[in-house]
Amino acid sequence: MGYLLKHITRLALPVAVLLLAGAGFLWIPSFREQQGFSVTLTMGLTVLAAAVLQFFFHFSGMTRETDILPALLYFAAISVFPPLHTLWQSQVAVCALLIILHILYRGFREKDTTEDAFVSSILLLLPSMLVPDMIWLFPFIWIAYIILSAFSMRTMMATLIALGTFVLYLGLGLYLGKLDNPFLELLNRRFIFEVTDPEEWIMLAVLMFMGCYFFIITVIRVDRDSVRQQAILTLFALFFAATIAMIIYPMMPMRSIPLMLAMLSGMATIFFRQTESVHRGIVFLIYLALLIAGYIVPTLILYI
């Protein structure tokens, strides 16, 4: 039994695919209750975001070709939360943020990150027109480069040039009447549990609890990880903390949640890909059980 628990996170490819298919079935009620095109688009972009997360971990060397745990964790986390099944805008933002993390990781301890800083800033600013709260992540690009020992005055100037380019584009669009200002209510914020339905509180509380657990349990052992793991963990932990702050007092409550879930899935992958232990096997089973309960309980409350 102990051996099974120790290695249970090393899912065989057929088992992982079966779990992915099971998560996909959770979208069926959304197809029946919502507009089919919106759900289809969101599901397709969610699969794309999961693939980008999978590529990131494969590129970093932390997963094998047949290890699809990162994609599984993210897709499952979105699937168990039906209110997210029509928010295609959020999945665009998630794809952009994951690409940004890849660019940041690629610049670890590099002397010249000017071009990467400009590109990552643009990739952050443009999706913020769909998910306005994403604009608050802009300073975290600087923090990330500082932590990754790749920050310089040229890096900072590159990000500011990207910001100036975006402001010019936005201003020109507003002047010509081609764009609506998505940031008008950026400071008009309310506590998340005041603007969501009671059945959504349970799911959101479960996800935030799991995220905080992985944040604490992975950060406290960072000194025992490899340099590569430290860099990846730093990125996911940094942006997880930022996205948690975003969703506690959000402008658009639901749209920011997938960003947090992507960071949660990254931290969970790092946790499960550290040295195998019975503890990690038990946590993995609890993780799956909480996801299942987080879907079933709100659904029962909604239809009782």
pLDDT digits (tens, 9 = 90+) for 147-165: 888 888 888 898 999 999 8
DSSP, collapsed to helix, strand or coil, labels residue 197 as coil
Measured distance CA(71)–CA(54) in Å, rounded: 5
Entry pTM: 0.89
Instruction: Tell me the percentage of the chain whose pLDDT exceeds 70.
Output: 85
pLDDT band at residue 113, thresholds of 50, 70 and 90?
confident
Residue 161, domain extent: 2-303
Q: Report, in angstroms and rounded to the nearest whole number, the Rg of the chain calculated over CA atoms.
A: 19
User: What are φ and ψ of residue 10, in 5° steps?
Assistant: -85, 70
pLDDT in tens, 179-202: 777 777 666 666 666 656 666 667
Position 193 scores a pLDDT of: 66
Q: What is the largest CA-CA distance in the chain?
A: 67
Measured distance CA(295)–CA(302) in Å, rounded: 11
User: For the packed helices 227-248 and 88-106, what is the interaxial angle rounded to 10 degrees?
Assistant: 150
Measured distance CA(297)–CA(204) in Å, rounded: 12
Measured distance CA(39)–CA(8) in Å, rounded: 32
Q: Per the structure block, which two tokens stand in for 12? A: 């065989």
Position 189 scores a pLDDT of: 65
CB-based contacts of 276, cutoff 8 Å, min separation 6: 6, 7, 9, 10
How far is residue 259 CA from its own chain's centroid? Answer: 4
pLDDT band at residue 80, thresholds of 50, 70 and 90?
confident
Total domains present in the chain: 1
pLDDT in tens, 32-43: 776 778 899 999
